[in-house]
């Protein structure tokens, strides 16, 4: 019996203390009609050795592709100490730190995490994480509606160059609360947001403007002008950012040209690049940060530093009553968890890399992507879609549908990028490619050779 | 008794300017500067972020020490009611972290090995719960709850019955229920429980009507007892046109014994991080998979794992056009689901049944021993399910000690406290869930501690009121934490 | 909480606010002793901005303790003419002196609005008893 330690003697003694004749008798309150039959759809138990074999075969079936896809999840080297420490039983099998005195390790770690997110984003306060980047954006939209007292506005301006799945998730989560998402187009030539279009529209009826930096296409936005416009229109500015990029891009807390109205109001994003493996999509974690004036509208757990009964410093979950209150307000959230294990990994990652290391990773990513774009653009039938500064992703236009090309590349062991036709048909045949610090010159060459052969052969 | 490490500075306090972990910085060494040069100056970062500057050994030592300041299942008995703190098998972690699984990008061509695991997990969960369809995408119990209520809403709206916006909940319900209802544009109607801890059927009949979207229940209930008239409850709600939602927090009590689908539930959410032993990780990640009966099949949140002609693929918008949509950026907490799959393969069909049997045996044994030691169970005439409630209302009047005091003193004895003050209906309560993976001796040690604490109540209650005494910190000032907000380290001389 | 203080010269609402009549058609509003005791040590109080127009029954302020956060409802219709600025730094005033230094706001009554359903002290005491609090 896996993991159940009871011997027949144990069972006998325990039943005697309870005063029941058998274990079955403990279920005598359950009507006979409800008792389940044998679970035929569940296979018989495997011992650990058999499971190891099974999982090994399944993993082998997946194999490994040379990965050039980004689009919201990024392949980075994860330093060896990160998961060696995160999977220590004291972190791995601990619960939410409700008994603060017995959880100072987790609590201090979260406080350090919150501090690091503030440092990266240039904001004043961060929470202990949310589920992922997409749901973090949904929460940011609900928060903006709560916090923007000015109007009873529930419309959010959502550019078409924000991750398309984030839009779907935001709609699914906020659907019943009357939030509306209005599309803002991007400039075809640059891939960037169109400030003129925003100026023409004005901020009427809106609570917030979302800006993703770098945007879904990898392009770097003119965030100062966008932030100033939003604030002038009395909109909150929601920044969706890539944490690696913050090593070299301006922190959202500093966005804006007007020193009095500086900075994004709510910052969120996907934390996966900070030490969390790709792992078919999860678990990842979302981060969120804001100004102190909005802290009571921010969802999620928050750890604070305080004193104990003898005046020594210690850490505890705080502002918990606020969570109930958020539930009763005009834009409700029900989140009551955080991605503890992933936060542990991310905090260790950020500590190991520090600012210099993160800048090194960011720089290497930018450089590899630049090399990849150069190498692929030399191929007939491939060209860069946008002429704008970028971080570590780029859109390439092809002379034929991308789907079959990517499938053929996959057969050659290369995950070449994301087909943009389903989400952005206006771009024609296009793919989104990404090369991180993990890609070598040989990797880039292999991709270029394979793609050249495919496009040349047809 | 396990000893905890006492004090550890903040990682920022260990930093020194210029200190690095150089082997973690990839070449070329001027990459950062060159990349920055490509960005227009006004979009560049003006100064580096204030992250720690420490050596690799400092990082390893710091976080290792922090871990030594935690209680965890691996080190301590953790009878947190409603949380199911059973052993998290190492095998689940080891095999879920095979390099091929970790390296797979979610948007790469569909991984046949991983997807086979997801598909089989869906099928096993259907079988165990008696449901027709399962989605693994909700990332936590709260998201699963949201999905469940959103599907109920979608069902009624799809039939032109959009006026159904009331969700019935028992008085003892978990706090997320009203929040979830509000997120779905619904209101909550509370129904009382009777003195035996069962839902009041008369009150339910009065509450159910044309405005009822559904009822949210858990069985066994949050009071730790089995709602044995559940079929009648189902009939009342279905007759009124509503649907039944099952909160699977207490699934550990009935795994393999009773199936929610057979009890009449239309939708259930499961907490894979409770019943299926995925790691609690200091607060997450969880996984709130949802299962549905035939009425709600079209509305499941996407993506689902599908199988066609021997090949596995993701089912999305095109396959489920009436889906309530996507709740996550990719497919939910994939790695958590994979750990649950591995756990279920090791339990197998025989192991499933034994979970409920031994969780229930352990809970009833512990309840009997505590009653014999003089403690008051909230429902002593009922069988415990996998958990039970002890109320300290007498003790609080006689000795002026609270459930919180007892909880804190248990820490000194090397046990994580049970859940306190939930459910709210029972005053000064402890909700105790031992789980099936604990030995009789561990339970006996816990009773010894509770007996010692009882003696202390009579002889030295102040010791309890000022507990804990042996933790890295004494009782923490919550009021100060909320009033004088210190939520991030601020380096000297820098704003934020 | 049968020993909650209920001063005889005030009126009360069912949502545990008290109202003190002031000259010139104004009233002073706060939360009752019962409410502050139920909440516990207050950590945060937010009172409405000056000049804000309120309708009777409208949520206009927030009080937050470690245990719970609550809306405070305006018992009358009118315009906010004064707010207790001390509460931002000292929310504990609501605990120590709920009817005095813990006053929250002063409202100029809207003469067109009818009198709300306010309770006399004895009625409020009865209400507390009946709700078993």
Domain locations along chain C? 11-123
Residue B83 domain flag:
no
Mutate one of A7, A34, A130 to test the B interface: name it (highest B CB count within 10 A): A34
Question: Which of B390, B383, B391 has the alpha carbon at shortest distance from B359?
Answer: B383
Diameter over CA atoms, chain C? 39
Diameter over CA atoms, chain A? 83
Pairwise CA distance, residues B442 & B432, whole Å: 14
Pairwise CA distance, residues B266 & C81, whole Å: 54
Query: In terms of domains, do B194 and B237 share one?
Result: yes
**Inter-chain residue contact A36 with B89, CB threshold 8 Å:** no
Pairwise CA distance, residues C118 & A118, whole Å: 48
Pairwise CA distance, residues B232 & B381, whole Å: 22
Angle at B383 between CA B249 and CA B230, to 5 degrees: 55
Q: How many domains, in total, are found in chain B?
A: 3
Q: Which residues of A touch B485 (CB under 8 A)?
A: 125, 292, 295, 304, 318-319
Q: What's the pLDDT score for residue B496?
A: 37
Segment A278-293 shows an average pLDDT of 96
The Cβ of residue B462 has, within 10 Å, a number of other Cβ atoms equal to 11
Query: In terms of domains, do B334 and B401 share one?
Result: no
Segment C36-51 shows an average pLDDT of 93
Name the DSSP class of B171.
T
pLDDT confidence tier of residue B50, bands split at 50, 70 and 90: very high
Q: What's the pLDDT score for residue B494?
A: 46
- Least confident residue range of A193-202, A248-257, B444-453, C108-117: C108-117
Residue B227: helix, strand or coil by DSSP? coil
pLDDT confidence tier of residue A267, bands split at 50, 70 and 90: very high
Question: What is the interface size between A and C, counted as CB pairs within 8 Å?
Answer: 19
Q: Which residues of A308-320 are buried (b: 16+ CB within 10 A; e: fewer)?
A: beeeeebbbbbbb
Question: Is residue A107 over pLDDT 50?
Answer: yes
Mutate one of B402, B424, B481, B483 to test the C interface: name it (highest C CB count within 10 A): B483
Query: In terms of domains, do B291 and B383 share one?
Result: no
Mutate one of C69, C72, C91 to test the A interface: name it (highest A CB count within 10 A): C69
**B94 vs B220, more confident:** B94
The residue whose two tokens read 């039970």 is B388
Cα–chain center distance at B414: 23
Residue A307: helix, strand or coil by DSSP? strand
Segment A263-271 shows an average pLDDT of 97
> What tokens does B18 get?
């210029």
Segment B224-235 shows an average pLDDT of 88
Segment B80-105 shows an average pLDDT of 96
pLDDT tens readout for residues B137-184: 999 999 999 999 999 999 999 999 999 999 999 887 766 788 899 899
Please tell me the CATH code under which domain A66-77+355-457 is placed.
3.90.1150.10
Residue B493 domain flag:
no
Residue B492 domain flag:
no
Pairwise CA distance, residues A134 & A163, whole Å: 9
Three-state SS string over A189-238 comes to: CCCCECHHHHHHHCCCCEEEEEEEECCCCCECCCHHHHHHHHHHCCCEEE
B474 at interface of A, judged by CB pairs closer than 8 A: yes
Distance from CA of A321 to the nearest CA of C (A): 5
Query: In terms of domains, do B233 and B196 share one?
Result: yes
CA distances from A404 to A61, A380, A401, A416 (A): 22, 17, 7, 11
Segment B15-30 shows an average pLDDT of 90
Q: What's the pLDDT score for residue A257?
A: 87
Nearest residue of A to residue B348, measured between CA atoms: A45
Segment A339-367 shows an average pLDDT of 96
Mutate one of A58, A170, A345 to test the B interface: name it (highest B CB count within 10 A): A58
Contact B145, B176 (CB under 8 A): yes
**Inter-chain residue contact B479 with C91, CB threshold 8 Å:** no
**Inter-chain residue contact C66 with A296, CB threshold 8 Å:** no
Pairwise CA distance, residues B216 & A188, whole Å: 49
Query: In terms of domains, do B302 and B156 share one?
Result: yes
Query: In terms of domains, do B58 and B133 share one?
Result: no
**B229 vs C103, more confident:** C103
Question: Which of A321, A338, A297, A382 has the alpha carbon at shortest distance from A117?
Answer: A338
Burial class (CB within 10 angstroms; exposed 0-12, middle 13-18, buried 19+) of B332: buried
Contact A322, C69 (CB under 8 A): yes
- Cα torsion A203, A205, A208, A209 to 10°: value is -40
Q: Chain B window 195-224: which residues touch A at a Cβ cutoff of 8 Å?
A: none
- Least confident residue range of A432-441, B219-228, B373-382, B481-490: B219-228
Nearest residue of A to residue C66, measured between CA atoms: A321
pLDDT confidence tier of residue A458, bands split at 50, 70 and 90: low
With contact defined as 3+ CB pairs under 8 Å, the chains touching B are A, C
Pairwise CA distance, residues B244 & B242, whole Å: 7
Pairwise CA distance, residues B421 & B431, whole Å: 8
Contact B342, A48 (CB under 8 A): no
Q: What's the pLDDT score for residue B495?
A: 41
Contact B380, B356 (CB under 8 A): no
Segment A328-338 shows an average pLDDT of 78
Nearest residue of B to residue C65, measured between CA atoms: B479
**What residues have CB less than 8 Å from A404, skipping those under 6 apart?**
none
C71 strand-pairing partners: C62
Contact B281, A338 (CB under 8 A): no
- Least confident residue range of A223-232, C22-31, C59-68: C59-68
Query: In terms of domains, do B284 and B310 share one?
Result: yes
Segment B235-246 shows an average pLDDT of 96
**Inter-chain residue contact B483 with C64, CB threshold 8 Å:** no
Q: What's the pLDDT score for residue B6?
A: 76
With contact defined as 3+ CB pairs under 8 Å, the chains touching C are A, B
Nearest residue of B to residue A173, measured between CA atoms: B327
Q: What's the pLDDT score for residue A55?
A: 98
φ, ψ of residue A317 in degrees (nearest 5): -65, 140
> What tokens does A260 get?
């009095």
Percent of chain B residues topping a pLDDT of 70 = 98
Mutate one of B424, B482, B485, B486 to test the C interface: name it (highest C CB count within 10 A): B482
**Inter-chain residue contact A111 with B489, CB threshold 8 Å:** yes
Q: Which residues of B touch C66 (CB under 8 A)?
A: 478-479, 482
Contact A396, A385 (CB under 8 A): yes
pLDDT tens readout for residues C62-74: 999 988 888 999 9
Of A55, A173, A305, which is closest to B486 when you measure between CB atoms? A305
**Inter-chain residue contact A321 with C64, CB threshold 8 Å:** yes
Distance from CA of C84 to the nearest CA of A (A): 19
Pairwise CA distance, residues A182 & B428, whole Å: 50
With contact defined as 3+ CB pairs under 8 Å, the chains touching A are B, C
Pairwise CA distance, residues B257 & B128, whole Å: 9
CATH code, domain carrying B412: 3.90.1150.10
Give chain B's mean pLDDT. Answer: 93
Spell out which chain B residues touch chain C, with contact meaning CB-CB distance below 8 angstroms: 478-479, 482-483
Query: In terms of domains, do B358 and B340 share one?
Result: no
Contact B24, A357 (CB under 8 A): yes
Segment A24-48 shows an average pLDDT of 91
Residue B183: helix, strand or coil by DSSP? helix
Q: What's the pLDDT score for residue A152?
A: 73
Contact B396, B416 (CB under 8 A): no
Segment C81-85 shows an average pLDDT of 96
The residue whose two tokens read 């003469």 is C111
Mutate one of A321, A323, A325, A330 to test the C interface: name it (highest C CB count within 10 A): A321
Residue B56 domain flag:
yes
Q: HSE-up of B475 (CA within 13 Å, CB side)?
A: 14
Question: Is residue B492 over pLDDT 80?
Answer: no
CA distances from C69 to A244, A367, B476, C63 (A): 37, 50, 20, 6
Q: What's the pLDDT score for residue A99?
A: 93
Question: Which of C32, C26, C27 has the alpha carbon at shortest distance from C94?
Answer: C32
**B425 vs B359, more confident:** B359
pLDDT confidence tier of residue C1, bands split at 50, 70 and 90: very low
**Inter-chain residue contact A325 with C69, CB threshold 8 Å:** yes
Please tell me the CATH code under which domain A80-347 is placed.
3.40.640.10
The Cβ of residue B127 has, within 10 Å, a number of other Cβ atoms equal to 19
φ, ψ of residue A125 in degrees (nearest 5): -150, 140
Question: Which of C1, A303, A351 has the alpha carbon at shortest distance from B282?
Answer: A303
Q: Which residues of A touch C68 (CB under 8 A)?
A: 321, 324
Domain span at B152: 91-347
Give chain A's mean pLDDT. Answer: 94
Distance from CA of C50 to the nearest CA of B (A): 24
Pairwise CA distance, residues B272 & B334, whole Å: 12
> What tokens does A239 get?
């920044």
Pairwise CA distance, residues A137 & A270, whole Å: 9
Could you tell me if the ipTM is greater than 0.90? yes
Pairing type for strands A302-307 and C42-46 reads unpaired
Domain segments of chain A as ranges = 66-77+355-457, 80-347
**B129 vs B222, more confident:** B129
Residue B198 domain flag:
yes
**Inter-chain residue contact B228 with A29, CB threshold 8 Å:** yes
Three-state SS string over A358-397 comes to: HHHHHHHHHHHHHHHHHHHHCCCCEEECCCCCECCEEEEE
Q: What's the pLDDT score for residue B139?
A: 96
> What tokens does A403 get?
């789907």
Please tell me the CATH code under which domain C11-123 is placed.
2.40.50.100
Question: Is residue A38 over pLDDT 90?
Answer: no
Q: HSE-up of B437 (CA within 13 Å, CB side)?
A: 21
Go through chain B and tell me how many residues it has: 496
Q: In C8-120, which residue ranges form alpha helices assigned H by DSSP?
A: 33-39, 93-96
Query: In terms of domains, do B21 and B126 share one?
Result: no
Q: Which residues of B touch C90 (CB under 8 A)?
A: none
Angle subtended by helix axes A48-62 and B112-129, to nearest 10: 130
Question: Which of B26, B297, B48, B301 has the alpha carbon at shortest distance from A119?
Answer: B48
Q: Which residues of C touch B482 (CB under 8 A)?
A: 43-44, 64-66
Q: Which residues of A touch B146 (CB under 8 A)?
A: 173, 334
Q: Which residues of B touch C69 (CB under 8 A)?
A: none
Q: What's the pLDDT score for residue C105?
A: 97
Segment A398-414 shows an average pLDDT of 97
Angle at A92 between CA A352 and CA B248, to 5 degrees: 135
pLDDT confidence tier of residue B37, bands split at 50, 70 and 90: confident
**Inter-chain residue contact A247 with B45, CB threshold 8 Å:** yes
Segment A156-164 shows an average pLDDT of 97
Question: Is residue B359 over pLDDT 90?
Answer: yes
Q: What's the pLDDT score for residue B225?
A: 80
Q: What's the pLDDT score for residue B53?
A: 97
> What tokens does A294 get?
């909005």
Question: Is residue B3 over pLDDT 70?
Answer: no
Distance from CA of B211 to the nearest CA of C (A): 25
Segment B445-461 shows an average pLDDT of 96
Residue B312: helix, strand or coil by DSSP? strand
Q: What's the pLDDT score for residue A334?
A: 86
Of A247, A277, A418, which is closest to B107 when you measure between CB atoms? A418
Question: Which of A93, A48, A6 has the alpha carbon at shortest distance from B436?
Answer: A6
Distance from CA of C60 to the nearest CA of A (A): 12
Residue B334 domain flag:
yes
Question: Which of A346, A373, A357, A350 has the alpha carbon at shortest distance from A219?
Answer: A373
Of A296, A321, A328, which is closest to C65 when you measure between CB atoms? A321
Contact A235, A261 (CB under 8 A): no
């Amino acid at each position: 019996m896996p993991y159940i330690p009871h011997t027949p003697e144990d069972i006998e003694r325990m039943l005697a203390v309870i005063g029941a004749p058998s274990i079955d008798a403990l279920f005598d309150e359950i009507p006979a009609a409800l008792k389940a039959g044998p679970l035929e759809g569940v296979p018989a138990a495997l011992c650990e050795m058999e499971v190891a074999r099974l999982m090994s075969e399944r993993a082998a079936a997946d194999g490994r592709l040379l990965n050039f896809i980004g689009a919201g999840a990024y392949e980075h080297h994860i330093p060896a100490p990160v998961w060696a420490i995160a999977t220590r039983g004291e972190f791995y099998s601990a619960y939410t730190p409700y008994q603060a005195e017995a959880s100072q390790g987790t609590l201090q770690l979260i406080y350090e995490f919150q501090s690091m997110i503030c440092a990266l984003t240039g904001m004043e306060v961060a929470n202990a994480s949310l589920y992922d980047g997409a749901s973090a954006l949904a929460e940011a939209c609900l928060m903006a509606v709560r916090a923007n007292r000015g109007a009873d506005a529930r419309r959010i301006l959502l550019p078409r160059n924000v991750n398309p799945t984030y839009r779907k998730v935001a709609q699914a989560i906020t659907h019943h609360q009357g939030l509306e998402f209005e599309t803002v187009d991007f400039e075809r030539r640059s891939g960037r947001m169109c400030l003129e279009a925003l100026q023409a529209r004005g901020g009427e009826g809106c609570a917030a403007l979302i800006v993703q930096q770098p945007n879904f296409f990898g392009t770097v936005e003119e965030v100062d002008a966008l932030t100033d416009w939003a604030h002038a229109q009395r909109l909150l500015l929601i920044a969706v950012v890539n944490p690696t990029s913050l090593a070299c891009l301006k922190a959202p807390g500093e966005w804006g040209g007007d020193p009095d109205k500086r900075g994004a109001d709510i910052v969120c994003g996907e934390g996966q690049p900070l030490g969390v493996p790709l792992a078919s999509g999860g678990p990842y974690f979302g981060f969120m940060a804001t100004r102190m004036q909005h802290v009571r509208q921010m969802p999620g757990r928050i750890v604070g530093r305080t004193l104990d009964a003898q005046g020594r410093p210690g850490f505890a979950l705080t502002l918990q009553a606020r969570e109930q209150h958020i539930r009763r307000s005009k834009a409700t959230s029900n989140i009551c968890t955080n991605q503890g294990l992933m936060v542990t990994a991310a905090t260790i990652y950020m500590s190991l890399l520090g600012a210099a290391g993160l800048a090194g990773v960011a720089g290497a990513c930018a450089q590899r992507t630049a090399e990849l774009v150069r190498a692929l653009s030399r191929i007939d039938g491939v060209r860069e879609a946008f002429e704008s500064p970028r971080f570590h992703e780029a859109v390439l236009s092809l002379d034929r549908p991308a789907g079959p090309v990517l499938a053929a590349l996959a057969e050659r062991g290369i995950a070449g990028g994301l087909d943009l036709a389903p989400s952005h048909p206006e771009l024609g045949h296009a793919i989104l490619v990404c090369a991180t610090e993990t890609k070598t010159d040989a990797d880039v060459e292999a991709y270029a050779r394979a793609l050249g052969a495919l496009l040349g052969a047809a | 008794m396990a000893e905890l490490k006492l004090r550890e500075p903040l990682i920022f306090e260990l930093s020194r300017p210029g200190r690095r972990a150089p082997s973690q910085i990839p070449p070329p060494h001027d990459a950062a500067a060159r990349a920055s040069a490509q960005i227009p100056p006004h979009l560049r970062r003006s100064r580096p972020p204030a992250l720690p500057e420490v050596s690799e050994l400092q990082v390893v030592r710091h976080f290792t020490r922090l871990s030594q300041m935690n209680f965890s299942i691996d080190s301590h008995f953790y009878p947190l009611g409603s949380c199911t703190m059973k052993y998290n098998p190492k095998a689940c972690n080891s095999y879920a972290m095979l390099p091929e699984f970790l390296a797979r990008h979610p948007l790469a061509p569909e991984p046949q090995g991983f997807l086979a695991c997801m598909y089989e997990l869906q099928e096993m969960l259907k079988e165990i719960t008696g449901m027709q369809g399962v989605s693994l995408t909700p990332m936590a119990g709260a998201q699963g709850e949201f999905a469940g209520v959103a599907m109920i809403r979608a069902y009624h709206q799809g039939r032109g019955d959009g006026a159904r916006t009331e969700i019935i909940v028992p008085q003892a319900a978990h706090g997320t229920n009203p929040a979830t209802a509000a997120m779905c544009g619904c209101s909550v109607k509370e129904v009382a429980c009777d003195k035996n801890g069962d839902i009041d059927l008369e009150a339910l009949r009065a509450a159910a009507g044309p405005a009822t979207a559904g009822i949210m229940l858990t069985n066994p209930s949050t009071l730790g007892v089995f709602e044995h008239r559940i079929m009648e409850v189902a009939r009342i709600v279905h007759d009124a046109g509503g649907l039944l939602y099952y909160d699977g927090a207490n699934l550990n009590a009935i795994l393999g014994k009773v199936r929610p689908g057979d009890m009449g539930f239309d939708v259930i959410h499961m907490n894979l991080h409770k019943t299926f032993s995925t790691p609690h990780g200091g607060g997450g990640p969880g996984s709130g998979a949802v299962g549905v009966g035939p009425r709600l099949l079209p509305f499941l949140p996407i993506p689902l794992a599908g199988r066609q002609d021997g090949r596995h693929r993701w089912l999305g918008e095109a396959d489920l056009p009436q889906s309530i949509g996507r709740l996550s950026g990719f497919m939910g907490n994939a790695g958590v689901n994979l750990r649950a799959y591995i756990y279920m393969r090791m339990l197998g069909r025989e192991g499933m049944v034994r979970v409920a049997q031994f969780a229930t045996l352990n809970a009833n044994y512990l309840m009997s021993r505590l009653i014999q030691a003089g403690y008051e169970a909230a429902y002593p005439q009922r069988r415990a399910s996998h958990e039970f409630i002890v109320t300290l209302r007498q003790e609080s009047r006689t000795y002026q000690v609270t459930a919180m005091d007892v909880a804190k003193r248990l820490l000194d004895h090397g046990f994580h406290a049970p859940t306190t003050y939930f459910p709210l209906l029972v005053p000064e309560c402890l909700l105790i869930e031992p789980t099936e993976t604990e030995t009789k001796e561990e339970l006996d040690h816990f009773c010894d501690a509770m007996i010692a604490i009882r003696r202390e109540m009579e002889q030295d209650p102040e010791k309890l009121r000022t507990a804990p005494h042996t933790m890295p910190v004494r009782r923490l000032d919550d009021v100060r934490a909320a009033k004088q907000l210190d939520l991030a380290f601020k380096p000297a001389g820098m704003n934020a | 909480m049968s020993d909650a203080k209920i001063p005889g010269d005030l009126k009360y609402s069912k949502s545990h606010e008290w109202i003190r009549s002031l000259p010139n058609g104004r009233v002073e509003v706060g939360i009752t002793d019962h409410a502050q005791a139920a909440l516990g040590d207050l950590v945060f109080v937010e009172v409405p901005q000056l000049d804000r127009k309120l309708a009777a029954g409208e949520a206009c302020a927030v009080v937050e303790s470690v245990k719970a956060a609550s809306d405070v409802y305006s018992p009358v219709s009118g315009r906010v003419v004064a707010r207790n600025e001390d509460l931002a730094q000292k929310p504990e005033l609501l605990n120590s002196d709920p009817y005095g230094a813990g006053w929250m706001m002063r409202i100029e009554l809207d003469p067109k609005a009818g009198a709300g359903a306010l309770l006399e002290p004895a009625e409020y005491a009865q209400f507390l008893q009946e709700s078993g609090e």
